């Protein structure tokens, strides 16, 4: 078990709810993943009419922790408004804060992100900011009151994996008491394993499962990968060395002379 904000969880895999071939496959994939937290985007168009309500109710019926997000927002103001609507709709103070600054690589806008984070923390939200691996931005978000950060591995949906392991390691080393979740760019189970081996607390992914040829099987693979990465970190991997070291000792090995 581990603590995520005010909840105790067993799984270190968080899963998105978009892009699946069908709602049934989404449900099967979530179950196969073992994830206990699922993200959901708030459709801001005419929420008072109940648009998307059937989908949201379907997610709620799974008995999971929902993490609404502000996907699609490009300004701090729109992200704050969306977060307030999500809190009322989903009855949760959790919010995954996304403020996109570039439409090409969907990189977060660091200035608007920080502005929105400060405001939402002040209004009682548990803010999960989607950010880059920039250490200075991460420190500012922590100073703003964020206890959880979600740096990307790579741009959303690219599946490129951990493109800047140095930056991610720096975040982990410099922010040892902050919950860090790798979010975006994870493409294969091995990428998730690597993140957990680095000491990250969890990974959040969507495309890698939802758009796989067999989403349910891929979800099962990620479940095993996350567990393997966490256990490896706890076990303590051997240090890297420049020179070979024999795994079989030579002390006491018999030898002889040819006559």
Note whether residue 259 is domain-resident: no
Inside any domain, residue 180: yes
Q: Which residues are annotated as a binding site for 1-deoxy-D-xylulose 5-phosphate?
A: 157, 184-185, 206-207
Which CATH number fits the domain that encloses residue 86? 3.20.20.70
Beta carbons of 73 and 98 less than 8 angstroms apart: yes
- At residue 46, the pLDDT reads 43
What residues make up the domain containing 201? 2-235
Task: Say how many domains are in the chain.
Answer: 1
Q: How far is the CA of 87 from the CAs of 17, 126, 150, in angstroms?
A: 18, 11, 20
Domain membership of residue 256 (yes or no) is no
**Is residue 248 a part of any domain in this protein?**
no
> In sequence order, what DSSP letters do the residues of the chain get, joined into one string?
-EEETTEEES--EEEE-SS-S-HHHHHHHHHHHT-SEEEEE---SSGGGTTTHHHHHHHHTTTPEEEEE-TT--SHHHHHHHHHHHHHHHT-SEEEE--B--TTT--B-HHHHHHHHHHHHHTT-EEEEEE-S-HHHHHHHHHTT-SEEEE-SSSTT-----S-HHHHHHHHHH-TTSEEEEES---SHHHHHHHHHTT-SEEEESHHHHTSSSHHHHHHHHHHHHHHHHHHHHH-PPPP-SS---SS--TT-------
In a domain, 185, yes or no: yes
In a domain, 209, yes or no: yes
Binding-site residues, in ranges, read 157, 184-185, 206-207
pLDDT of residue 30: 95
End-to-end CA distance of the chain: 65
- The answer to whether 96 is a known catalytic residue is yes
Q: pLDDT tens digits, residue range 70-122?
A: 998 999 999 999 999 999 988 899 999 999 988 888 899 999 999 999 999 99
> Considering the entire predicted model, what is its pTM?
0.89
181 assigned to some structural domain: yes
Q: Examine residue 250 and state whether it is found in any structural domain, yes or no.
A: no
Query: Which residue among the candidates 60, 77, 96, 253 is catalytic per the annotation?
Result: 96
pLDDT by 10s per residue, the chain, length 259: 899 998 999 999 999 998 999 999 999 999 999 999 999 987 543 445 555 667 777 777 888 999 999 998 999 999 999 999 999 988 899 999 999 988 888 899 999 999 999 999 999 999 999 999 999 999 999 999 999 999 999 998 899 999 999 999 999 999 999 999 999 999 999 999 999 999 999 999 999 999 999 999 999 999 999 999 999 999 998 888 777 877 776 666 665 556 5
């Amino acid at each position: 078990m581990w603590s995520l904000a005010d909840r105790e969880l067993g799984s270190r895999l968080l899963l998105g709810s978009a892009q699946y071939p069908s709602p049934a496959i989404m449900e099967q994939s979530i179950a196969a993943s073992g994830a206990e937290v699922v993200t959901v985007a708030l459709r801001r168009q005419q929420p008072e009419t109940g648009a998307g309500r059937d989908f949201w109710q379907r997610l709620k019926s799974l008995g999971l922790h929902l993490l609404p997000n502000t996907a699609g927002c490009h300004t701090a103001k729109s992200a704050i408004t969306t977060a307030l609507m999500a809190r009322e709709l989903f009855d949760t103070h959790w919010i995954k804060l996304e403020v996109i600054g570039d439409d090409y690589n969907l990189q977060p806008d660091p200035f608007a992100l920080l502005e929105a984070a400060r405001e939402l923390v002040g209004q009682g939200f548990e803010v999960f900011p989607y950010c880059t691996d920039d250490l200075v931005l991460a420190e500012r978000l922590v100073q703003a009151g964020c206890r959880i950060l979600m740096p990307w591995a790579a741009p959303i949906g690219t599946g490129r994996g951990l493109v800047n392991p140095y930056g991610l390691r720096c975040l982990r080393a410099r922010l040892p008491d902050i919950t860090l979740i790798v979010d975006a760019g994870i493409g294969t189970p091995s990428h998730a394993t690597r993140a957990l081996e680095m000491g990250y607390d969890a990974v959040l992914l969507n495309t890698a499962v939802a758009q796989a040829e067999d989403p349910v099987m891929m979800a099962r693979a990620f479940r095993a990968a996350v567990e393997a990465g966490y256990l490896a970190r706890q076990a303590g991997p051997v240090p890297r060395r420049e020179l070979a070291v024999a795994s079989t000792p030579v002390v006491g090995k018999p030898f002889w002379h040819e006559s």
